[in-house]
């Protein structure tokens, strides 16, 4: 049993055969807190609160009180409802009080869960973050969609003619870059969440396969189609100046910039196979990150820049891997069923959103960054394909 207030952040490296190592991640996370549902928690409010605590990825429920790190109890007295948190040795830790009747039970549960998580771990959960993604039903238009952290709210942002792909949030959560395939080929556009409109990044850039934001206002990293290949460039929108980041005969794509703006991950076939590389934008030096297999792609940084997740091909299927920033150690996170790909980190770095494909159907899933607690994010119908997720970097007011 762990003492809740003594939760620590650990990174344990465990040796494997042949001198290899994997990441054993209990890792960059606090250890999972085991909770027991005590008196009164069988009520709908109590069950909803437990669900939200578990969904944060930081808690597991146990049916044995002696195995629990905390016990939750729900007490109703006249016009007041109190949620008590008791430690594993019977000590009182904290309490949350609500006046009855509760106007919005769902929001009250979220707020109590946030306070409990903050009080026990010192971390602010990403309950108010959102995930944008692309959806499509066969024979119908592509849609740029938005869902909340719990997958319970959905909103269609765009449903244009043509194909919508590869959305990316900006650092402030106000804009989304996406690639639009229309009559003029591939063009990057910007969707403004508050204005509920989109505009071209620059009509004069030509075929632009993908783009991502940088920490500098109106500066972008582009994957631009030139001379039959895709090259990476830094683009200053205000001056319309392009700075070449790669100039090879190989194809380079899938730019992913670290939050500090210094380290750029990208995909290249310069070795003859599809592999992930990292470029230090301060020194200009590049190095290959992946060596196992012939196809590794879709890299993404965690918020701290300590880890990257990516998709690799294993036995004909795609799986998700985690690697340290230096490229020395990695861990496989998914093992089927089906293919798992397109990973994206939560704003606090504790979870990964990804796409799982089974029987030709793609759906959004979440998991902890150690690969545990995999679950569907949305409850969409089987006919709906979901792919290309992008997670906001912080809280966003639902539009």
pLDDT of residue 18: 32
How crowded is residue 304: how many other Cβ atoms within 10 Å of its Cβ? 14
Residue 190 has pLDDT above 50, yes or no: yes
Domain boundaries, the chain: 4-121, 130-391
Residue 66 pLDDT greater than 80, yes or no: yes
Poorest-pLDDT segment among 38-42, 88-92, 174-178, 375-379: 88-92
Distance CA 232, CA 214 (A): 13
Contacts for 146 with CB less than 8 Å, ≥ 6 apart: 130, 131, 132, 154, 155, 156, 157, 399
Secondary structure (3-state) at 105? helix
Distance CA 299, CA 297 (A): 6
Same fold, 4-121 and 130-391: no
Structure tokens at 18: 């042949």
Measured CA to CA, the distance from residue 382 to residue 66 in angstroms comes to 41
Question: Higher-confidence residue: 266 or 22?
Answer: 266
- d(Cα 58, Cα 349) in Å, to the nearest integer? 12
Q: How far is 80 from 86, CA to CA, in rounded Å?
A: 19
Query: How many angstroms separate the CA atoms of 316 and 361, rounded?
Result: 17
The burial class, CB within 10 Å (0-12 / 13-18 / 19+), for 240 is: exposed
Q: What values do phi and psi take at 18, rounded to 5?
A: 60, 30
Binning pLDDT at 50, 70 and 90, where does residue 22 land? Answer: very low
What pLDDT does residue 242 have? 86
Q: 66 and 89 in contact (C-beta within 8 Å)?
A: no
Angle between helices 44-55 and 105-121 (to 10 degrees): 50
Token couple for 397 = 């007011």
Determine whether 178 is exposed, middle or buried from the number of CB atoms within 10 Å of its CB (0-12, 13-18, 19+). Answer: buried
Average pLDDT value over all residues in the chain: 89
Instruction: Quote the tokens at residue 367.
Output: 């998991």
Q: Which CATH number fits domain 4-121: 3.30.300, 2.60.120, 1.20.120, 3.40.50?
A: 3.40.50
State the number of CA atoms in the 13 A half-sphere of 381 facing the CB.
Answer: 5
pLDDT value for 282: 93
Alpha-carbon gap, residue 157 to 130, rounded angstroms = 13
Residues 6+ apart with CB under 8 A from 40: 46, 73, 74, 75, 76
Q: 3-state class of 324 per DSSP? A: strand
The 8-class DSSP code of residue 295 comes to: B
Q: Which spans in 86-183 are helix H?
A: 105-121
Of the chain, the percentage scoring pLDDT greater than 70 comes to: 92
pLDDT at position 330: 94
pLDDT (mean) for 358-372: 96
* Alpha carbons 149 and 130: distance in angstroms, whole number: 6
Residue 4 has pLDDT above 50, yes or no: no
* Fold that domain 130-391 belongs to in CATH: Neuraminidase (2.120.10)
Residue 65 is predicted with a pLDDT of: 94
Q: What is the mean pLDDT of residues 361-377?
A: 97
Distance, in Å, from the CA atom of 113 to the CA atom of 287, rounded to the nearest integer, reads: 43
């Amino acid at each position: 049993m762990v003492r809740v207030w003594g939760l620590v952040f650990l990174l344990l490296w465990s040796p494997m055969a042949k001198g290899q190592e994997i990441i054993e991640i209990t890792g960059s996370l606090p250890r999972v807190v085991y909770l027991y549902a005590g008196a009164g928690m069988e009520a709908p409010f109590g069950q909803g609160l437990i669900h939200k605590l578990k969904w944060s990825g930081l808690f597991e429920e146990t049916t044995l009180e002696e195995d629990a790190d905390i016990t939750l109890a729900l007490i109703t007295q006249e016009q007041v409802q109190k949620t008590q948190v008791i430690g594993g040795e019977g000590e009182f830790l904290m309490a949350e009080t609500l006046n009855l009747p509760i106007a919005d039970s769902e929001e009250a549960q979220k707020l109590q869960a946030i306070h409990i998580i903050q009080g026990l771990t010192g971390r602010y959960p990403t309950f108010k973050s959102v995930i944008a993604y692309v959806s499509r039903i066969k024979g119908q238009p592509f849609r740029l969609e938005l869902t909340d952290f719990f997958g319970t709210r959905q909103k269609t942002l765009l449903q244009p003619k043509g194909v919508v792909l590869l959305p990316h949030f900006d650092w402030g959560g106000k804009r989304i870059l996406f690639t639009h395939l229309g009559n003029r080929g591939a063009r990057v556009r910007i969707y403004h969440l508050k204005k509920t409109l989109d505009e071209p990044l620059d009509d004069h850039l030509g075929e632009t396969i993908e783009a991502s934001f940088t920490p500098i206002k109106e500066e972008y990293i582009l994957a631009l189609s030139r001379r039959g290949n895709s090259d990476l460039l830094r683009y200053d929108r205000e001056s319309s100046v392009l700075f070449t980041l790669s100039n090879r005969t190989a194809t380079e794509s899938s730019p992913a910039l670290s939050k500090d703006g210094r380290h750029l991950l990208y995909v290249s076939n310069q070795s003859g196979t599809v592999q992930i590389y990292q470029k230090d934008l301060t020194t200009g030096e590049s190095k290959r990150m992946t060596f196992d297999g012939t196809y590794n792609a879709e890299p993404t940084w965690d918020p701290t820049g300590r880890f990257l997740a990516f998709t690799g091909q294993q036995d004909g299927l795609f799986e998700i891997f985690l690697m340290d920033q230096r490229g020395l150690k990695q861990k496989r996170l998914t093992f089927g069923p089906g293919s798992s790909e397109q990973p994206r980190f939560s704003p606090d770095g504790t979870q990964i959103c990804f796409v799982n494909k089974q029987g030709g159907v793609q759906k959004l899933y979440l998991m902890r960054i150690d690969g545990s607690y995999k679950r569907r994010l949305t409850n969409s119908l089987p006919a709906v394909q979901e792919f290309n997720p992008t997670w906001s970097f912080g809280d966003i007011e639902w539009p």
